[in-house]
Amino acid sequence: MTNSTEDLAQKVERALTFIKNHPDGIIQSELWKELGMDSRTCSRILKQLEDEGKITRQACKGSSYLVTWVKSEKKVDPMLFMAGDALLPCVACTEECDVPSCKMLEDWIYELVFAEME
Ligand code: SF4
């Protein structure tokens, strides 16, 4: 999508998606052409993404940069799977799953509610 009604947030999202799809990185001077943007807009977008820690820019050939996506490694808090001392049954479940009628999950949710009240 490269229409004139695309706002900056949409351009940022489109640029990030494009960069993610190039795991080895992409040269900045090629990127703005691929995105159908002017170099100034592209630079502004990349500055924003870099400030947010979503990309890196490394100087490379000529006066351009290699733009690379930074995979975020969000850590999951293991305590989210606990209700007091009870581990979420889904973690090690081998049953055929039917969430609405699962007694194990229902019991765990009750444990969670009581653990929250303590
Ligand atoms: S909802 Fe019940 S059946 Fe489904 S994975 Fe969790 S524990 Fe197993």
62 and 15 inside one domain: yes
pLDDT digits (tens, 9 = 90+) for 53-76: 999 999 987 778 999 999 887 778
Instruction: Give me ligand 1 centre to Cα 78, in Å.
Output: 18
**Closest Cα to atom 5 of ligand 1:** 90
Alpha carbon 1 to chain centroid distance?
21
pTM, to two decimals: 0.56
How many structural domains does the chain have? Answer: 2
Contacts of 49 (CB under 8 A, 6+ apart): 12, 15, 16, 19, 55
84 and 63 inside one domain: no
Answer whether 79 contacts ligand 1 (Cβ < 6 A). no
Ligand 1 pocket, mutate which of 94, 95, 111 (most atoms under 8 A from CB)? 95
88 and 109 inside one domain: yes
12 and 58 inside one domain: yes
Q: Is residue 2 situated within a structural domain?
A: no
Answer whether 93 contacts ligand 1 (Cβ < 6 A). yes
64 and 84 inside one domain: no
40 and 21 inside one domain: yes
Expressed as residue numbers, the domain containing 49 is 8-69
pLDDT band at 116, cuts 50/70/90?
confident
22 and 63 inside one domain: yes
Using the structure block, give the residue that is written with the tokens 């001392």. Answer: 85
Q: Is residue 3 situated within a structural domain?
A: no
Instruction: Give me ligand 1 centre to Cα 100, in Å.
Output: 9
Cα Rg of the chain (Å, integer): 23
Q: Is residue 19 situated within a structural domain?
A: yes
Answer whether 109 contacts ligand 1 (Cβ < 6 A). no
Q: Is residue 1 situated within a structural domain?
A: no
pLDDT digits (tens, 9 = 90+) for 7-39: 989 999 999 999 999 999 999 999 999 999 999
